[in-house]
Structure 1
Amino acid sequence: MLTLRGRSRGFTLIELMLVVAIIGLLAAIAIPKFGDAIIRSKEAAVRGHMGALRSAISIYYADNEGFFPKVMGLQGIMPGLNVGNKYLTAIPPIKIPTAPIHQNSDLICSTFFGEWACAGGVLGETVWLFNPSMGVLVVNCGHPDSRGVIWSIQ
């Protein structure tokens, strides 16, 4: 005689499809958030480099009794900051993730008489802009970051 066994253990096709749909929905929500987090972390790296440069400039200013470092040469080198690795080992590069049109650069350009001007005519690139008379350092980029703040006024 045939005996009826209890219901076999396992998941039905409907239950498995429902689980796959829920996982897909969660992935659709989470993956763009991870992309935003990567962009924010790259922006934070640029802000961190800017903070390191500003700190080195402040320490140089204090060590040299009120004189800011000068930018020399067409490559935008600040010899006062790099000599002997006392303040910086190297000028950090700028990599703006929200403005891929700009080329990455580690140049520092100087300003004179209130005008932003770059040595070698590289003002269109993304460079560090430094005003040696006031000690102001900014990024030469008019694009906003992920928070909507323009890079050149940070």
Structure 2
Amino acid sequence: MEDRAIMQVTSNTGKSRRGGFTLVEVLIVVVILGILAATVLPQFTAANNDARESAVKQDLAILRGQIQQYHVDHNGKFPADGETDGTKFADALLLSSSADGTTGAPGTLPYGPYIIGQVPANPFTGARGVRIVTDVPGATPDDSTTEGWFYNPATGLIKANTTEVSSDGSTPVSSF
């Protein structure tokens, strides 16, 4: 069997020192990592915005589909018909209801619930609340942290309450 010796680095003075990284080497690595972060981070940010844009489109498709189903089940009335309180919209979709729109606990009336759990949160603001308006297309988004959606119970129109612009750089997300 061979003896294996541990190598030590010897300086000009003859003293041994341990091998390691110099300050310059560490700084070079830090600079390289900084450059990589600067080039990669914007791609992650863009992917995050694309994901939120897709989520808001999916949430609107679900909400619009369930609003239409409610409309069919309730003889042409939309959820929260005649109401000005956005919580009535949530009640109409989250609870069971009769043909005249009276709500009750899930499973106690013939229709609904149309959404299980809670109204989806607006992916851009995190808000689940609904603001009742008379003109959904004309409603001015304000990025409310409590009201994530604009809804008109007379027409069944709904849109996101956000000032964000889509990934194309020009289309407001609120116009989806």
Q: TM-score, normalised by structure 2?
A: 0.56
Percent identical pairs in the alignment equals 25
Which segments of structure 1 move beyond 3 Å, counting only runs of 4 or more?
24-31, 71-75, 114-117
Asked if structure 2 preserves the Cα contact closer than 8 Å seen for 1:109 and 1:129, the reply is yes
Instruction: Specify which of 49, 70, 76 is matched with residue 87 of structure 2.
Output: 76
Asked if the contact 1:77–1:107 (Cα under 8 Å) also holds between the matched residues in 2, the reply is no
Pick from 123, 137, 141 the counterpart of residue 95 of structure 1: 123
Q: Which residue among 61, 66, 70 is the counterpart of 1:51?
A: 61
Matched residue pairs, number? 123
1:36: how far off? Answer: 1.1
Structure 1 segments unaligned to the other structure (5+ residues): 1-19, 97-102, 118-122
Deviation of the 1:86 alpha carbon: 2.3
Summarize deviations over 1:9-29 as a string: whole Å, max 9, x none: xxxxxxxxxxx9xxx988765
Change (3 A) 1:70 1:55: same
Deviations 1:21-41 (A, max 9, x none): xxx988765543233112211
Residue 149 of structure 2 is aligned with which of 128, 150, 153?
128
Structure 2 unaligned blocks of 5 or more: 1-28, 96-105, 107-111
Aligned partners of 2:174, 2:58: CA distance in 1, in Å? 15
TM-score of the two chains, using structure 1 as the length reference: 0.63
CA RMSD of aligned residues (A): 3.1
